[in-house]
Structure 1
Amino acid sequence: MYDVDHPAYKKLQEIGREITMRVKPEAVVVVSAHWQAGKNQVQINTSEKTELIYDHYYEERYPNVGSKELAEKTMSLLKKAGIEVKGVDRGLDHGVWVIFKCAYGLEAFAPDENPLDVPIVQLSLFNSDDPDQHYRLGQALSTLRAEKVQIIVSGMAVHNLRDFRFGSNVPDPMPYAISFDEALKDAATAPPAERQVKLADLLKREDARKAHPSFEHLLPIHVGAGAAGVDAGTRLFTLVEGSLSWAQYRFGDVL
């Protein structure tokens, strides 16, 4: 968030401008790696006034509003799909507000441009490692896209903080980070008819638990891919640093 010269930061700004100036969503539903609900239940923030949830940087702010109407519409879609969902009053965690602050912060825009200023509704993951369960969650959300609701998922392509902490002075990418990053690209950009199976198979790879000691930072992309329907996936950017990958994906074209 403070390393404004980092390539991933600059790419987030580029994507932020694309969303605000070309996509122009009327609202956002966002899924973050940092919120897991129940094994067979998801939760959604129904609050209109949404605070921030911190684990550090406690003086940071990201002004935002929720939407009870959109939360209720989303709950209805999930229930119709047979997914148990509960509305709760919860803030935005740093898996959302940090990324949004990078992508939509005022410094990313020219004076005559406006940052993202639409309702943001956060939805949880399941507290499970089931990739198909999360893919179906995304499928249940897919019709929101036709109503100009942007679906954003926040995780990491490779996320091994244990190796990052102990090897933070080692600039070279870890071999498992390179191999898993490319495997994720192959799965996410596969033909839509093959994508669900390929994404599920990622969790079975020998390097999977090295790339993701726990899978919550990987599973958001299963939700995003499920929501994409027949739209193809594109890797917009990647950068492997040590035991992390900052890859970013889009499903569908910007019209």
Structure 2
Amino acid sequence: MPVYFLGIGGPSFIENTHHPAYAQLEKVGQEITTHVKPKAIVVFSAHWQDSASKISINTAEYTDLLYDFDDLRDFPSHFYDYHYPNRGSPEVAEKVVDKLTSAGIQVERVKRGLDHGVWAGFLVVSLFNNEDHDMHYRMGQALEGLRDEGIVIVGTGMAVHNLGDFLAVRESGKTMPYVYSFDEALKSAATAEPEERQVAMSDLMRRSDARQAHPTLDHILPIYVSAGAAGRDVGERLFTLPDRTLSWAQYRFGKVQGA
């Protein structure tokens, strides 16, 4: 099974059908459903960080949606009426528990609704509530074996995500220079040869523009999990779109026949 990192915007994105990234997400969705055809999908969402040393895993078969909207705008009331039909897999969740605990990672089983980073998906696992990107990479490495069981691993976040600056340039539409520079640096790191990738990804966050691109690391950490789970597979950037203070880049690790 391949591994993915997908740039997924806020809740309003699901109605922004003319956005170029919308069509790209549709394309990747069709690739997964028509060519990959996984038995299950495990998702690491930028919108769920638990503790600095412990991972929470949603083990519930049925759960609700979380309307976890930010404070940047008032969302119309109909956004709270959205439903996403979903069914979790306690069996797959236990596989995740086993692999993480075998790697020495502390795990807690919880029942949690799907946050808006996963409204387009799946079975949800939390991130560590810390900024240790190497720890998240190692977590992905611990889960690589799930791919041999027909399970797709997906990280959802954004390649560049600075909402503080977004308000300042929203009217002008100007794309900040750090969006372009960090977006290309991420591409170089994520698509590096597998034996060089972990070091390249670690060096990425030491760049001078890293904190401009990500004042907090929650939206970039999921790609560290994806890259760690990729094993010997090389990363490929499928799409990118620098947009003011955001980048909608999407990545796949591993080839898909027929795609």
For 1:233, the equivalent position in structure 2 comes to 235
Kindly provide the amino acid, as one letter, of the partner of residue 21 in structure 1: T
1:171 equivalenced with 2:173 (yes/no)? yes
Percent of pairs with identical residues: 57
Which of 211, 215, 229 is equivalent to 1:209? 211
1:17 equivalenced with 2:43 (yes/no)? no
For 2:43, the equivalent position in structure 1 comes to 30
Give the conservation status (yes or no) of the 8 Å contact 1:44–1:121. no
Structure-2 separation of matches of 1:72 and 1:21: 27
Matched pairs, number: 235
Give the conservation status (yes or no) of the 8 Å contact 1:43–1:88. yes
Q: Offset at 1:55?
A: 2.4
Structure-1 separation of matches of 2:99 and 2:141: 10
Which of 61, 77, 81 is equivalent to 1:59? 81
Structure-2 separation of matches of 1:55 and 1:47: 19
Structure-to-structure mapping, 1:103-182, within 5 angstroms:
120-182=122-184
Q: Which 4+ runs in 1 deviate beyond 4 A? A: none
Structure-2 separation of matches of 1:3 and 1:84: 39
Structure-2 separation of matches of 1:203 and 1:51: 35
For 1:105, the equivalent position in structure 2 comes to none
Give the conservation status (yes or no) of the 8 Å contact 1:79–1:85. yes
Q: Offset at 1:38?
A: 1.2
Query: Any unmatched runs of 5+ in structure 1?
Result: 101-119
* Cα shift readout 1:154-197 (whole Å, capped 9, x = no counterpart): 01000000111121012232100110000000000000111111
TM-score, normalised relative to structure 1: 0.90
Q: Offset at 1:231?
A: 0.2
For 1:92, the equivalent position in structure 2 comes to 114
1:191 equivalenced with 2:193 (yes/no)? yes
SS at match of 2:143: helix
For 1:242, the equivalent position in structure 2 comes to 244
* Cα shift readout 1:37-57 (whole Å, capped 9, x = no counterpart): 111111100101021111242
Structure-2 separation of matches of 1:18 and 1:188: 21
SS at match of 1:58: helix
Give the conservation status (yes or no) of the 8 Å contact 1:168–1:242. yes
